[in-house]
Amino acid sequence: TRRARPAAGGPRWTGPVTVIVPAYNEAAGIEDTVWSLVESDWPHGLDVIVVDDGSTDGTGAIVERLGLPDVWLIRQPNSGKPAALNAAIAAARTEVVVLLDGDTVFQPDTIARLVAPFTDPRIGACSGNAKVRNRRALLGRWQHIEYVMGFNLDRRLLDLCHAIPTVPGAVGAFRLAALRQVGGLSDDTLAEDTDLTIAVTRAGWRVVYRQDALAWTEAP
């Protein structure tokens, strides 16, 4: 049987959302990231949790200085990205949480598009579409090609096969119940986003892809 998908203009999930941003030495871009979130077109309640994972460049101070309501800062000694994400997951209280990196910005409609599929209670995670914004350098161009191939082509096919292996850290949404069922993220890995996605799938949840949920990230 064909899986039901929220069509454009059809039923879309609505409810408060928590956005989690793990950040280690992201002073160059963290302000743009946070502003892109608080300026989202999401009227149903939005909390932003930034986890400063022992940054030495003043990342946490920048977030603090913004003084934005509903933006919360957690500081911890440098423990790695999985630990930073798990700290925020433990603090989250909404049914759906969104994850993105500290060098990534969302479009105003990204959150709405990313969480739309959660009207289906079987869905545990949704992958968005990461785009490279610094394409002028050679590395950025190659990264752009990789993202186009991996997201716009491979991921469409994998979505049809119900076999998406990775919800990227740059733009992904999860049902909080699914995250807690699998025990959060493991630090015994080189690819925490892939391990998490596979764990959610093994636990019986569906993982889907929204091509129109765009995020713009920086190539290394």
| pLDDT tens, position by position, 25-84 | 999 999 999 999 999 999 999 999 999 999 999 999 999 999 999 999 999 999 999 999
Tell how strand 17-23 and strand 46-53 pair up: parallel
The better pLDDT of the pair 192, 110 is held by 110
pLDDT of residue 147: 61
The Cα 5–Cα 88 span in angstroms is 29
**156-179 burial code (b ≥16 CB/10 A, e <16):** eebbeeeebbbbbbbbbbbbbebb
Q: How far is CA 213 from the centre of its chain?
A: 10
* Mean pLDDT, the chain, integer: 88
Helices 192-202, 81-91: inter-axial angle, 10-degree rounding: 50
pLDDT tens, 173-217? 999 999 999 999 998 877 899 999 999 999 999 999 999 999 998
Tokens of 55: 């940054």
pTM of the model: 0.88
Q: Are 182 and 199 in contact (CB under 8 A)?
A: yes
pLDDT of residue 124: 98
Range 1-8 average pLDDT: 41
The Cα 9–Cα 7 span in angstroms is 6
How would residue 104 be classed by pLDDT, with cut points 50, 70 and 90? very high
pLDDT of residue 130: 87
47 sits in the region (left: phi over 0; alpha: psi -120 to 50; else beta) called: beta
The Cα 27–Cα 19 span in angstroms is 19
How would residue 164 be classed by pLDDT, with cut points 50, 70 and 90? confident
